[in-house]
A and B are shown apart, each in its own frame.
Chain A
């Protein structure tokens, strides 16, 4: 656990960790642990669990955005045996915010699609902080259609604050391209597993998010708008982002409760940023399990289920009795 930048609420955990470290150093390499150390380890576990069980939504957002949180390329290294990147959208360029390519997942060949924010400043500039332009969404869809042609299942890792809001993005049809991805992903004839690994930022996330199995990591979030954006509009100032985060109900357990996602993937104690390897092992298990289920379905049934999965979502009131129209088309 070296050199993590602690989040404000992690302060007591970090303090205890450094106390423990000191104590362990005092004991040297002695094989026997004193009761004090053992107790402190137990207490550290308890404290970490307590803090993480009681995270407020706005704190969850800070975990989802943690600079040490594993990103798409970390998972590529930790989950897949091979990654053969495929570049370019054949129309404009190669958007580095979304990476696509063939990947080997144990004995399965898959297509990997992942938004990558960048783990240092150089990477963040290269990958535009994970905020894609239309060409990124176009590339993602093209490679998915390629995968379908050869019956490769698709794995999409979602991690973006949103699609990039810029002049070029608008000129090249950001709205159209996301819309087109939504329509076409709904009928890509191969299994699609989508996992929100960090931030699921609005249309920019959904643009690679129409799948048969949608999972969200325990401390990731998936929202119609960023908490800052929502606060700016409805509370008239982004500083109320914590209030907006509360109101939007976008944490993984809420999403599962709403029936909007299929699975919450548990993170290691204290969050994925504390143990990349363990997170990757769990996530790999999720992928293998979901793909096994989905691959057993005939393609027509798979697509019907994908349709129904999104078709069901929505809450409203309806009085059937009064109109003759209301029952027919649902």
Chain B
């Protein structure tokens, strides 16, 4: 688990996500329904509708805003081709965890806020006619952190991909890594998902991992890093320890561009940096090189 990165908090999901996982769709309380968004990168005030229709990119500078789960699915997969799996898996509270508020309350609020039951959606879909198993983590839900539901959904999806010999694409967005509120259960999901990927790998399956802003901690240190091909969206924050933790440990300023997609590619941990509008054609092209 990593603390949120300084100045890198994902754009708050103050736009209702299209309905997934059967939860009634509601708007987050207290967040105004602004017509305008401010771009973190160029500072421009941009028309929300335009951002939304343009793959959640800044029309001025191309900055990649946070994109909710349903928008991701819509962008990447063929229209209406997505069939969600295991939608009835819901989180519980194995530790009886409470910080300043009970985890159960937090879950309810996150569910209401995002329209998701937990931070993960998996299923089957088609990408330019190519069948695949698809998963994503949505950073709006408790920082996209991995607890039991995320671990279980991904593991089941990977197992199905192994059985059905389908390629696997997972889009990661997780500033939270392994979810603190489920303690040791969350840590062990890292092992569980990675072991499932070992079997998938042995069976010859193709796994394309797409890293988006942010992908940190226990998510980066498990499935997200294990793609046969690792793709990152531009300028995403990706790493193991949060920048704030690193800074306080080494007591030195961090080098510019530290833990960005570009930094990771320069150090050999990302195959390609691909802007959001190109993900669809690029992934289908990559699949065609590997899958007959």
Q: Which residues of A contact B (CB under 8 A)?
A: 163-167, 169-176, 178-180, 182-184, 186-187, 202-203, 206-207, 209-210, 222-225, 229-230, 232-235, 243-244, 247-250, 255, 258, 260, 306-307, 310-311, 313-320, 322-323, 325-326, 328-330
Chain B residues near A318 (CB-CB < 8 A): 86, 88-90
Q: Is the CB of B3 within 8 A of A203?
A: no
Give the distance in Å from the alpha carbon of A167 to the alpha carbon of B247 in the complex: 9
User: Residues of B contacting A306 with CB < 8 Å?
Assistant: 195
- B-to-A contact residues, CB < 8 Å: 1, 3-4, 85-92, 94-95, 97-100, 148-149, 151-152, 155-157, 159-160, 163, 177-180, 182-192, 194-199, 201-202, 217-218, 220-226, 238-242, 245-246, 249-250, 252, 254-255, 258-259, 263, 267-269
Q: Does A179 contact B222, Cβ atoms closer than 8 Å?
A: yes
Taken together as a complex, chains A and B put the C-alpha atoms of A301 and B84 apart, in Å, by 33
Tell me the complex Cα distance, A229–B157, Å. Answer: 32
A170 touching B239, Cβ below 8 Å: yes
- Cβ of A61 to closest chain B Cβ, rounded Å: 14
User: Are A313 and B195 interface neighbours, CB within 8 A?
Assistant: no
Residues of B within 8 A of A171 (CB): 263, 267
Q: Which residues of A contact B1 (CB under 8 A)?
A: 202, 224-225, 229-230, 233
Task: Determine the chain A residues whose CB is within 8 A of the CB of B182 once the complex forms.
Answer: 224, 315
Alpha-carbon gap, A164 to B187, bound state (A): 17
- Given contact pairs A170-B246, A315-B94, A317-B92, enumerate 12 new A-B contacts (beta carbons under 8 Å): A165-B241, A165-B249, A167-B250, A174-B241, A179-B221, A182-B194, A224-B182, A247-B95, A258-B94, A314-B192, A316-B149, A319-B88
B91 partner residues in chain A, CB cutoff 8 A: 316-317
Chain A residues with CB under 8 A of B92: 315-317
Q: Are B95 and A234 interface neighbours, CB within 8 A? A: no
The closest CB in chain B to the CB of A231 belongs to: B99
Q: Are B90 and A317 in contact (CB-based, < 8 A)? A: yes
Q: How far is the CA of A169 from the CA of B246 in the complex (A)?
A: 10
Inter-subunit contact B246/A167 (CB<8 Å)? yes
Rounded to whole angstroms, the CA-CA distance of A307 and B158 in the bound complex is 14
Chain A residues whose CB sits within 8 angstroms of the CB of B183 once the complex forms:
223-224, 248-250
Q: Which residues from B are CB-within-8-Å of A248?
A: 95, 97, 180, 183-184
Q: Which residues of B contact A316 (CB under 8 A)?
A: 89-92, 148-149, 152
- Known interface pairs A174-B221, A307-B199; A315-B148 also in contact (CB < 8 Å): yes
The 5 closest A-B pairs by CB, nearest first: A165-B241, A314-B148, A182-B194, A186-B195, A175-B220
Do residues A203 and B218 form an inter-chain contact, with CB atoms below 8 A? yes
* Residues in A neighbouring B239, C-beta threshold 8 A: 170, 174-175
Q: Would you call A224 and B226 a contact (CB within 8 A)? A: no
Contact sample, A vs B, 9 pairs, CB 8 Å cutoff: A173-B269, A180-B226, A183-B198, A202-B1, A255-B184, A258-B185, A260-B188, A307-B199, A311-B155
A179-B184 in contact (CB<8A): no
Q: For B3, give its contact among A164, A182, A232, A314 (CB under 8 Å).
A: A232
Task: Flag if A183 contacts B197 (CB, 8 Å).
Answer: yes
